[in-house]
Chain A
């Protein structure tokens, strides 16, 4: 049926061979190379993206002043410590009561739980934003002094909040108050800086928070205080 005369079609041999070789080379060499090109383009694009992030990150980091940053971190850590610091809270509340003219009659801690929480997961109850440690503080003093205490508590390091206030008139006509206070803390972030994750800048609102907390009262030198007041037996000095 198909009778191909090779002698007559000899002239088409060269083009056919060339086409065959082109086809073969395309399948064995060109096609994998084109697929390599696509892969390489993807890799290059990803590298370029990474490089942009890293360049931005590096310039941000180089623009940050280490000393200033250290001071800011110190400020926020004073206001929001990384763990439940029972001793510090006891000291601050005692100082705050004394500074407000109150008699610090006692303190009760409930559900302290793990003390070393630097790496622990905080338990946030009822939609709370920050984990906290609750104290019942028992103070004796006039209403004005209680008010002073409440005002001062709003801007003290570490960050505290009054949950409940209960005042009872005693027979001696001096009110005795029980103040339920929450003292806040926040464990360290789970990851401290992945290389290819850009640095999130501090927003204006957050800068305002920094200004606000820098005005928070700090009580220093626990040892000095205990020595000066003659109060002995800080039960939490490890």
Chain B
């Protein structure tokens, strides 16, 4: 019997291995390629979707802007109203108008013999009152009124600035007063 020896079996195994690698490489490449195409497709689709959305929102914006434009007059009135009301609100909140009426009323009730000749009040709450008293008793009574006022709520600071005795025995006086903050 004749025996045959195959000297090429090592070469075949090598080529089979190569063919297998080649097949795997090709399949893997195609899978990568298909995946890549899918990714590219997804990217393009998303981009197209975004553009479509932008277009939609832009047209909605234009539509709304047109409608707002039609209501421009109402908007202007609203802006004007808001501007004025917020300024007035600020004004009233910060407005510390001293009560000039209370000041005038305060000097209505004065002792007989005392006469107010000049009265000046400023909105900062400062007052200057000048007058004449026919006698020293009336003047004393008048000045006591301010002492009493130390306990009530109108003035915080009272200064007798000038006191002049006249030839006829009367007294000329000037008084500075500061109103309390809450007046």
Residues on A facing B (Cβ under 8 Å): 11-12, 14-15, 18-19, 22, 25, 29-30, 33-34, 36-37, 40-41, 43-44, 47-48, 50-51, 54-55, 57-58, 61-62, 64, 66, 69-70, 72-73, 76-77, 79-80, 129-130, 143, 146-147, 150-151, 154, 159, 161-169, 184, 186, 188-189, 192-193, 195, 199-200, 202-203, 205-206, 209-210, 212-213
The chain B residue with its CB closest to the CB of A49 is B57
Number of B residues whose C-beta is below 8 Å from A? 70
Q: List 18 A-B contacts (CB under 8 A).
A: A25-B40, A37-B46, A47-B58, A48-B57, A51-B64, A54-B64, A58-B67, A66-B73, A73-B77, A77-B80, A147-B104, A159-B88, A165-B120, A166-B119, A186-B83, A189-B80, A189-B83, A210-B85
Per-residue interface assignment for chain B, residues 27 to 66, with 1 indicating a CB less than 8 Å from any chain A CB and 0 otherwise: 0111011001001100110110011011001101100110
Residues of the B chain whose Cβ atoms lie less than 8 Å from the Cβ of A80? 84, 87-88
B156 on the interface (CB 8 Å rule)? no
Contacts of B51 in A (CB 8 A): 40
Residues in B with CB closer than 8 Å to A77 are: 80, 84
| Docked complex Cα distance between A209 and B80 (Å) | 15
User: Are A200 and B84 touching (Cβ within 8 A)?
Assistant: no
Check A206/B57 contact, CB under 8 A, given A15-B28, A33-B47: no
Is residue B95 contacting chain A, with contact meaning CB distance below 8 A?
Answer: yes
